[in-house]
Amino acid sequence: MLILRCPAQLQLLEETLRKSLPTTLPVLGTVMTVARGNPASHEVLVDSWPHFGIVLTRLRPEDHRDPRDYYTNQLSVFYRDKGALQALLEGTEAVSRGRAFQILGLQDGLDEAVQEVASARGLKVE
């Protein structure tokens, strides 16, 4: 996963996400916040650039204080391709399995994908 920090990249991503409202709403707010100074210490990650399949927003890992606090470790996701979502949940280090987290998204299939990956790893999902 690539972390977007460049203002031009964030602006382009913001414009792209606006075209797919309301499903992009969970990530769009964070993208806008990061592009405008990032007072909340968030990150915007994509699987590739500029043709991304998934966007993930999260608090910077160094700002996590309690690994059991899933409110602090809140992830927001927008994906164009379910395969990209599966790859994110199964194989990347972008989603830390060493701490509790909650994942937000408005797209169909998100719950099922999370349940599938969790059950394959023997993890509990609430």
pLDDT at 19 over 80: yes
Q: Count Cβ neighbours within 10 Å for each residue of 49-64 and write b for 16 or more, e otherwise.
A: eeebbbbbbbbeeeeb
pLDDT of residue 97: 67
Compute how many other C-beta atoms are within 10 angstroms of the C-beta atom of residue 88. Answer: 23
Q: Strand order of the sheet with strand 2-3?
A: 2-3, 42-46, 54-59, 74-79, 102-104
Q: How far is CA 42 from the centre of its chain?
A: 11
Considering only CA atoms, which of 53, 96, 54 is closest in space to residue 74?
96
pLDDT of residue 104: 78
pLDDT of residue 70: 63
Give the pairing of strands 2-3 and 102-104: unpaired
Q: How far is CA 125 from the centre of its chain?
A: 17
Task: Please give the Cα distance from 93 to 68 (Å, whole number).
Answer: 18
% of the chain surpassing 90 pLDDT: 40
**Both tokens of residue 92?**
């990347």
Largest CA distance in the chain: 41
Confidence of residue 27 (pLDDT cuts 50, 70, 90): very high
Confidence of residue 21 (pLDDT cuts 50, 70, 90): very high
pLDDT tens per residue, range 91-115: 767 666 666 677 778 888 888 887 8
Compute how many other C-beta atoms are within 10 angstroms of the C-beta atom of residue 2. Answer: 13
pLDDT of residue 28: 96
pLDDT of residue 85: 81
